[in-house]
Structure 1
């Protein structure tokens, strides 16, 4: 055995709270977690936020005006922007997972690159929607 042998890598099997700070999740793992978070966000907000606002906006011209006035609030716009990010991230990551199901981009380097592309595309599209939502475009 040589003295220049590499130090053994730590193994994380049952991660405790104290080990969380030392654990480095790969980009594809972070994407997977955010895909689940965005799906849960959309699932929970559909009956609580999206459908009631849609129903009120199509009920009558007066309720549409009330919803439009409500949607003009900057805090409400931020909530809408979070929902837009959730949708765009979930959509882009879903396309990536469909390609992975077809055995396209399964190797480590391709998976890392495609995770970066999903983050970049979803955040860029969210930025475009944010600029439009806040009246810059």
Structure 2
């Protein structure tokens, strides 16, 4: 009974800047953020696709838009979101099958997701630029 009373009186520490999240948790948050980014920017990509397929002038407009350095940075950001979401999704599918559930493997697979998404993004960025 004393344990239950003490647990209720403990302060809740919600300083999100100071909380040290483990790497798998950080990858999980990035997975959610990349999914949100893909969802939001999919409308922009679909608008570009629609404009490029509408007419030759629309295609020229889209080509000129994508040639702008800011648009290239946005495309590289979309590329990172796609690659990270894809790699982390494979990791979570494996975790759902109980592969890599132990702590050491979870950390290693988190590093692998981060590394693979960065390498794939760099290759994609070099190809776009």
Give the TM-score normalised by structure 1: 0.83
For 1:67, the equivalent position in structure 2 comes to 62
Cα-to-partner distance string for 1:95-130 (whole Å, 9 max, x where unaligned): 000000000000000000000000000100000011
* Stretches of structure 2 lacking an aligned partner (at least 5 in a row): 1-10
Name the CA distance, whole Å, in 2 between partners of 1:64 and 1:119: 35
Cα distance in 1 for partners of 2:85, 2:73 equals 18
RMSD of aligned C-alpha atoms?
A: 1.5
The alpha-carbon deviation at position 64 of structure 1 amounts to 0.5
Map 1:1-137 → 2, pairs under 5 A: 14-16=12-14, 19-47=15-43, 49-134=44-129
1:21 Cα shift?
3.6
What is the CA-CA distance between 1:78 and the residue it aligns to?
0.4
Using the size of structure 2 for normalisation, the TM-score is 0.88
Q: Which aligned runs of 4 or more in structure 1 are off by greater than 3 angstroms?
A: none
CA drift at 1:55: 0.5
Q: Gaps (5+ residues) in structure 1? A: 1-12
TM-aligned CA deviation for residue 41 of structure 1: 0.7
